[in-house]
Structure 1
């Protein structure tokens, strides 16, 4: 009887250990969502309201145990409201990523994600004059995160967005509310870190994935 109980315990532990892996050949379908709503007022200045969200559906394939590559789509909307200062922007994008998972036991994982994302933003910006805005942004970023197996077929995750990054952007802004439209073009390149803003809501994305073939 003791041997049976011991063998059962070993089998149960082995099953848990096996399930707590990102199995080669498995597929993960889901995505991330990021929502940020803020309201700020300084002294007697008008209140500034900022609302934004980003939805990023994705699919990932485990090419090796605890290693994954994938593709994601991006759609975001941001709106800022203030007296004489209004932004209304829509963002569309596509990205590819690699992930390396480190099992931590009991269904928890730490992972590092390297991603290349290209986003196109279009909308209006009002600051004294009305502007049409078009912007292309390409970002190479490293983002750490944590995942948890709710079950063998469902996983939750949290991602710290672009903790370290390199970014290139170019924009075209057209002034519409003047007699003669004025076109302004800019190009920028930067390397940086979001360590200083890690506690802000907008720096964190929450997601879920369905697992197939595991």
Structure 2
């Protein structure tokens, strides 16, 4: 079985003031694509997601705020096609620490409630199976900040830790449900880059 995995994550905007009593507004967008080719099946999965954040900086190092996210996934296989949309809302805490005049590290601890729905259509059937899901998640994402000039900086992320617990119910069979618990360690496996501005 041959797998091709392409991961692209790009922070689209991040405006912050790294001083006490100010506000943080940031956001990110990511794209994930995977193709699987085997002698029995061919599959393609594409995912697009966004995550805006708004926070208040209580100290020069500590920020607390709210975060939301939306994720859209499309799957195509020889046996059928499926789509899913997921959303989430929660809170985050950011702790930052200067390493020098130009380098700074920070980590976001986030948690929240997520919900969504999906559908799957079998190639050999006209029936469309639909489902709904809801759950809870928590994550830790460290990052490195490189100051450039006039308050501008580059931000680099390298993955993190995450835990998610979800329950999926199927519309065609109300007595049928599925519970999943996932622990993810993506540190060093994914990469994100962005730009920020301090006011």
TM-score tier, shorter chain, comes to 0.7 to 0.9
Structure 2-normalised TM-score?
Answer: 0.76
Whether contact under 8 Å (1:72, 1:95) holds in the other structure is yes
Q: How many residues are treated as equivalent by the alignment?
A: 179
Partners of 2:90 and 2:147 lie apart in 1 by 25
Displacement of 1:123:
1.9
Partners of 2:196 and 2:80 lie apart in 1 by 38
Match 1:186 to one of 165, 178, 199: 178
Partners of 1:54 and 1:170 lie apart in 2 by 21
Displacement of 1:135:
0.7
Cα 1:211–1:49 change in 2 (3 A) is: same
Q: Which structure dedicates a bigger proportion of its chain to strand?
A: 2
Whether contact under 8 Å (1:69, 1:96) holds in the other structure is yes
Consecutive aligned runs of 4 or more in structure 1 exceeding 6 Å deviation: none
Equivalent residues in 2 for 1:73-152, closer than 5 Å: 73-126=68-121, 130-152=128-150
Cα deviation, 1:64-93, whole Å, max 9, x if unaligned, reads 112111211211101111111422011111
Q: Which has the larger radius of gyration?
A: 1
Partners of 2:180 and 2:34 lie apart in 1 by 27
Cα 1:87–1:156 change in 2 (3 A) is: farther
Q: Which structure dedicates a bigger proportion of its chain to helix?
A: 1
Question: Which residue does the alignment assign to 2:59?
Answer: 64
Whether contact under 8 Å (1:102, 1:111) holds in the other structure is yes
Give the alignment's Cα RMSD to 1 decimal: 2.5
